[in-house]
Structure 1
Amino acid sequence: MIAFLGMGLLGSNFVRALISKGESVQVWNRTTAKATALESYGAKAFAEVTEAVKGADRVHLTLKDDHTVNEVLAAATAGLKPGALIIDHTTTSADGAVDRTKEWAARGFTYVHAPVFMGPSNALDSTGYMLVSGDQTVISQVSPALAKMTGQLINFGDTVGKAAGMKLIGNSFLVSLTAGLADTMSLAKALDIPVSDISALFGAWNPGNALPARLQRMTAGDYSHPSWELNMARKDTQLFIDAAQKGNTHLALLPAIATEMDRWIAKGHGNDDWTVIGKDAVERI
């Protein structure tokens, strides 16, 4: 028996996928209607979280944050089956994942943090990526069940909380990417260039293909053989800013990047590769 707590878009589709694979699933959500909606697919909904987890060997969570996870698990405690496995797919802090692993082990339960890079459609199709780390004996025990829920299960080793950190790193990139795309579209608007032309550009020239090489260049520590000098990159960045100002459009990210470029130019790195602006971050890793 499986219990699933948190019937948002991700959790509800996880439940539908588990049921399609022949699993019996008990569900709970703070807004009860979201749980009862899954009964049409074969789930058994409960208004009380303690009832939802009774008899479950595995309890999955897809909730909002550390506080919500702690609150819901505290409420569910009285109904938990002795020795039940708690699998948390919520995006949380790394410290929170570490603390919960220790806390629930002391109570006689196994807590595994398994965040995901999966949208609702991935949860339904069992595709996408799920991350785990920690006690490798535990990971080996849970991996077969988790692998059925995702396209790829990525094990980051025995460091508890590392999966949570990797999830935050991935999400930080997605946030930065989206902010960069927003600035790109603002610049296009200022230049009176339609979105269809932006799509055509990126369809023919995919800058994502350069990501591994860019990361390698940034982390190599040698910026003295530039493919794009910082001075030139800063000149271009000013062109972006000037065009946006002229077109009366807002840029959220590029002005901050320009400020960072100026800081490194002032330190004498204008003729270095422009990726030198990441030097401090790389040296701290």
Structure 2
Amino acid sequence: MIAFLGMGHLGANFVRALISKGEQVQVWNRTASKATALETYGAKAFPEVADAVKGAGRIHLTLKDDHSVNEILAAAVSGFKAGAVIIDHTTTSTDGAIQRTREWQERGFTYLHAPVFMGPQNALESTGYMLVSGDQTVIGRQEQALSKMTGKVINFGDTVGKAASMKLLGNSFLVGLTAGLADTLSLAKALDIPVSDLSALFDNWNPGGALPARLQRMTSGNYNNPSWELSMARKDTQLFIEAAAKGGTQLAVLPAIAAEMDRWIKNGHGNDDWTVIGKDSISSKV
């Protein structure tokens, strides 16, 4: 039997999918009505979190942050079955995941951080990606069950907390991508280009396909054979900024990028490939 704590859109659809696969699931949510709503699908809701986890061999969490995970686990522990496994899908800090893995092991329980790149529909359809790392024996015991919940389980090895780090990296990219798209939409508005035309551009030209090559170029350390010189990229960036200003729209990200480009140009990199602006960000482990 499984317990699931945190019935937001993701958690609720995880529960529905588990029930459809024949699992018995006990649920809890801070707002009780979100848990009781799942009784329609066959879940058993509890008003007290310690009661929701009683008898459960696996306890899943989809909560907000480190604080909420620590708070709810502290409230639930009195109901834990001996040897229960805690599987936490919450996006948390790396340090928090490491600390909980150690502390719950010391208390006789297994804690596995398994953050996801999954939306609510993915949770319902058991598609998307789930990340794990740490004790490979623990992962080996849980991998089959986790695989039934997602399209792919990605194992990042035996470093505890690495899955948390990888989730933060992925979300960082998504935040940057969305902020960049917001600036692109602002520029389109300033240039009186409808969204339909912008969509048509990306339907025909997918810049995402260049991501692996761009990452390789940025991390190669070789910027002296440019495909786009930094000075030329900076010239275009100025065109973006001026067009937006003329059209009465504001840009949030591009002005900061322009300032970073100016710093690198001032340091003599104007003729280098524009990806040189990422040079200082590269880990020495690359």
Shorter chain as normaliser: what TM range?
A: over 0.9
Alignment partner, residue 63 of structure 2: 63
**Cα 1:283–1:271 shift into 2, 3 Å:** farther
2:159 partner letter: T
Q: Is residue 112 of structure 1 aligned with residue 112 of structure 2? A: yes
Q: Is residue 259 of structure 1 aligned with residue 253 of structure 2? A: no
TM-score by length of 1: 0.99
Q: 1:234-267: CA deviations, max 9, x gaps? A: 0000000000000110100000000000000000
Alignment partner, residue 42 of structure 2: 42
TM-superposed CA distance for 1:182, in Å, is 0.2
Task: Give the share of equivalent positions with the same residue, in percent.
Answer: 79
1:55 partner letter: G
Q: Distance in 2 between matches of 1:284 and 1:93?
A: 22
TM-superposed CA distance for 1:283, in Å, is 4.3
TM-superposed CA distance for 1:205, in Å, is 0.3
Alignment partner, residue 159 of structure 1: 159
Q: 1:39-93: CA deviations, max 9, x gaps? A: 0000000000000000000000000000000000000010000110000000000
1:171 partner letter: N
1:82 is paired with a residue of what secondary structure? Answer: coil
Q: Distance in 2 between matches of 1:106 and 1:39?
A: 35
Q: Distance in 1 between matches of 2:33 and 2:208?
A: 41
2:40 partner letter: S
What are the residue-to-residue correspondences of 1:120-269 with 2, within 5 Å? 120-269=120-269
Q: Distance in 2 between matches of 1:138 and 1:73?
A: 19
Q: Distance in 2 between matches of 1:22 and 1:284?
A: 48
- Show structure 2 runs of 5+ residues with no match: none
Q: Distance in 2 between matches of 1:83 and 1:71?
A: 20
Q: Distance in 2 between matches of 1:156 and 1:128?
A: 16
**Cα 1:17–1:283 shift into 2, 3 Å:** closer
TM-superposed CA distance for 1:284, in Å, is 4.5
TM-superposed CA distance for 1:224, in Å, is 0.3
Q: Distance in 2 between matches of 1:55 and 1:173?
A: 40
Q: Distance in 1 between matches of 2:194 and 2:15?
A: 41
Q: Distance in 2 between matches of 1:282 and 1:270?
A: 19
2:244 partner letter: A
- Show structure 1 runs of 5+ residues with no match: none
Q: Distance in 2 between matches of 1:25 and 1:205?
A: 45
Q: Distance in 2 between matches of 1:50 and 1:279?
A: 50
Q: 1:145-187: CA deviations, max 9, x gaps? A: 0000000000000000000000000000000000000000000
Q: Distance in 2 between matches of 1:30 and 1:201?
A: 45
RMSD over aligned CA atoms reads 0.5
**Cα 1:141–1:265 shift into 2, 3 Å:** same
Q: Distance in 2 between matches of 1:20 and 1:42?
A: 9
2:200 partner letter: A
2:94 partner letter: A
2:139 partner letter: I
1:148 partner letter: K
1:27 is paired with a residue of what secondary structure? Answer: strand
2:263 is paired with a residue of what secondary structure? Answer: helix
Alignment partner, residue 7 of structure 1: 7
What are the residue-to-residue correspondences of 1:19-98 with 2, within 5 Å? 19-98=19-98
